Amino acid sequence: MATREGPALVRVTAPPEGVGPRGTLLLGHGAGGHRDAADVLALTALAGEGWTVVLVDQPWRVAGRRVATPPPTLDRAWTDVTTTLADPRWQDENAIPLPVPWVVGGRSAGARVACRTAPGTPGVVGVICLAFPLHPPGRPERSRAEELARPLAAGLPTLVVQGARDPFGTPAEVADAVGRHDALTLVEVPGTHSPTRDLSTVRRSVTDALGRATVRPEQPRGTAPMSHPPTWPAPHASGPVDAVVPVPGSKSLTNRWLVLAALADGPCTLRQPLRSRDSERMVDALRALGAVVDDSSDEEWRVVPPARLRGGGTVDCGQAGTVMRFVPPLAALADGPVRFDGHPTARKRPVGPVLTALRDLGVRVDDEGRGTLPYTVHGTGGVVGGRVRVDASASSQFVSALLLAGARFEDGLTLEHTGATLPSRTHIEMTVQVLRSAGVEVSRPDASTWRVEPGPVRAFAAEVEPDLSSAAPLLALAAVTGGTVVIPRWPATTTQPGDHLREVLARMGATTSLTERGLVVTGRTGAEGLQGADLDLSDVGELTPVVAALAVLATTPSRLRGIAHLRGHETDRLAALTTEIGRLGGRAEETADGLAIEPAPLHGARLRTYHDHRMAMFAAVVGAAVPGVEVEDVATADKTFPGFHTVWERILEVGAQAPVP
């Protein structure tokens, strides 16, 4: 009879030559039955994306003799995993000192192996379990919650993908068993006994979580994977920082141009686009609708729109607000239903006003009344259009989403905003500008109404401006250290809200000038350093975390207004900022529409980022001025600024000696 013992065998594959590994998956495996094999199969697509796959199996004993032969089902699954990788080999290891970013546990025994292994494995930053049985078969009185609690007690973020009808523990039971814990994320796969029966959902959930643990971008292609530590020690500036720092293309412009390209009357070209998780989600969404996108070059992408947008697919929004809001109106023009889902945190973000507007325009949308992900838009090949009323108080993206598709509606679109406030109006101005650049006629009958005339979206070639909001922490670095930072290619005129930084920095004591080199910002030194300010950020809310970092380092109080809508972003940014400023010893209070920040002595602390790229930038800026700051999950900044922490380290390392390449 075969029996199992503790984990010892490690089966390792290496990426093919020329494939730059993003990170490592450590898969704790169990008996190797059909469900465990499905766990491995669920990760096969990840293997082709540059991940090194490591399988930690439990050695088998047959008649008391230890053997290293996996069950046939496991062997077949492993063969599928390694289709795009080098041939695997067994290695007998009695310990697992692997510096891997995430430990990924399969179902049943594999989940327990992962939870036991993770806390003692150097470099691990989180655990993912593809279901977690709370009690063994036939032994409901014996809970395994204490095993799941191990990585949580060690401070490791833990993701559990759980079938809704799992007899050994539903998502609700898992939550009850381990108590309320900020580091635990539960992903329910509706209507299934085992989440591995829905491999696409498992893959999506795992990919989203692992996307925040990518290796450093300067790693040579084809080398062994590098890992992020559980926390990133934010570099502290020992003096003024002088640097020239190019920034990547604008996410907001990249995704708007991509949407228009899918609706255009011919092939379109984007030059200097942003390659990030959000823009890649948009590219994948357009491909799901039938567009052909060649993004093989970082310098130029080419989009060939389909003759007819295609239904029948699924759009994975990840955490991208532009995808979950901009793409549904396109799906309404498709020739069949399109399902939308995304990261668990994205399911809390509002999309209801867009979905309601589509219903008012005659489109069938199924969201079970949630107004959030997941939902299905039932395209019929066209939308009549006409007049629609939208409350965009929570996000200007509700307006932009409908305007972008309006020209392709039969009667065009007349959109009236009905809310009392309208945040981030500059983003709507950006939308109008790109529409007009593509030959679409847009007018403003009054201050709260937009009219988009029906007609073609002309094929275009567009150059994407640098992302001025992503430049915010870099410019703040000059302000807090008394140095000088130059951002090349800063546009003389733009609709990007990041351009408002020039005014903010000037009011807080820095000097700014737009020259042939780009935007030059120089901070003050000594007692004349940063000054607090009373700022209305209603149109530029995305700048708030970096502005808050400046405010907490200022010598006088600050008041940040007009940003109540930030409570509905990637996280509740106002609550998050208040909490993290408190960890530093600072004083911040939430107000009805923003933050009040008072100067106070600061000290080092471990700061959370809440899966929010702007919170990672906040922490980096503070860390440059306050020694001893550590940042959890700094790689979440890659959402809009790929390799952000590497660029940041390079700036602090090089300082005034040379520009950053």
DSSP states along 11-57: EE--PPTT----EEEEEE--S--HHHHHHHHTTHHHHTTTEEEEEEE
Instruction: Write the CA distances from 32 to 58, 197, 244, 583, integer angstroms.
Output: 10, 16, 54, 45
- Assess whether pLDDT exceeds 70 at residue 84: no
pLDDT of residue 462: 97
- Tokens matching residue 584: 């530093």
Which amino acid would we find at residue 644?
Answer: F
User: Residue 560: pLDDT band by 50, 70, 90 thresholds?
Assistant: very high
pLDDT at residue number 17: 37
Residue 648: pLDDT band by 50, 70, 90 thresholds?
very high
Q: Is pLDDT at 174 greater than 80 in this prediction? A: no
Segment 388-406 shows an average pLDDT of 95
571-614 tens-digit pLDDT: 788 988 998 999 999 999 999 899 999 999 999 999 988 888 89
Quote the distance between the C-alpha of residue 592 and its chain's center. Answer: 27
Burial of residue 136 (number of CB atoms within 10 Å: 0-12, 13-18, 19+):
middle
Mean pLDDT of 294-311: 95
Show the tokens assigned to 585. 């010893």
Please confirm whether the linkage preceding 329 is cis (ω < 30° from 0).
no
pLDDT category, 222, cuts 50, 70, 90? very low
Q: What angle do CA 593, 546, 491 make, to 5 degrees?
A: 105
Residue 400 has pLDDT above 90, yes or no: yes
Does the pLDDT at position 215 exceed 60?
no
CB neighbour list of residue 319: distance below 8 Å, 6 or more residues apart: 208, 277, 278, 342, 343, 345, 346, 570, 611, 639
Residue 213 has pLDDT above 50, yes or no: no
Amino acid identity, position 482: G
List all residues 6 or more positions away from 268 whose beta carbon is below 8 Å from its beta carbon: 257, 260, 261, 302, 303, 305, 459, 460, 461, 462
- Residue 88 reports pLDDT greater than 60: no
Whether pLDDT at 449 is above 90: yes
SS3 91: strand
**Which pLDDT belongs to residue 200?**
55
pLDDT at 165: 64
The pLDDT of residue 60 is 36
pLDDT score of 245 more than 50 = yes
**CB neighbours of residue 137 within 10 Å:** 9
| Amino acid letter, 15 | P
Q: Which of 542, 570, 632, 649 is catalytic?
A: 542
Interatomic CA distance for residues 153 and 112, integer angstroms: 15
Catalytic residue flag (residue 542): yes
Contact between 54 and 124 (Cβ < 8 Å): no
Whether 649 has a pLDDT exceeding 70, the answer reads yes
pLDDT tens digits, one per residue of 269-296: 999 999 988 899 999 999 999 999 999 9
* pLDDT, greater one: 300 or 216: 300
Q: What is the pLDDT of residue 137?
A: 55
Q: How far apart are the first and last CA of the chain?
A: 62
Here the tokens at position 429 are 């101005």
**% of the chain with per-residue pLDDT over 70:** 68
CA 278 from centre of chain: 7
Q: What is the mean pLDDT of the chain?
A: 78
| E runs forming strands in 361-410 | 364-366, 375-378, 386-390
Does the pTM surpass 0.85? The reply is no
- Rounded CA separation 415/222 (Å): 51
Closest of 282, 447, 419 to residue 353, by C-alpha: 419
Q: For the segment 138-170, what is each residue's pLDDT rounded down to a tens digit?
A: 555 556 677 777 777 766 777 777 766 666 677
Q: Which is nearest to 409 in space by CA: 448, 432, 370, 380? A: 380
Mean pLDDT across the stretch 485-511? 94
The helix or strand, by DSSP H or E, that contains position 595, with its residue range, turns out to be: strand 594-598
Cα gap 282→270, rounded to integer Å: 14
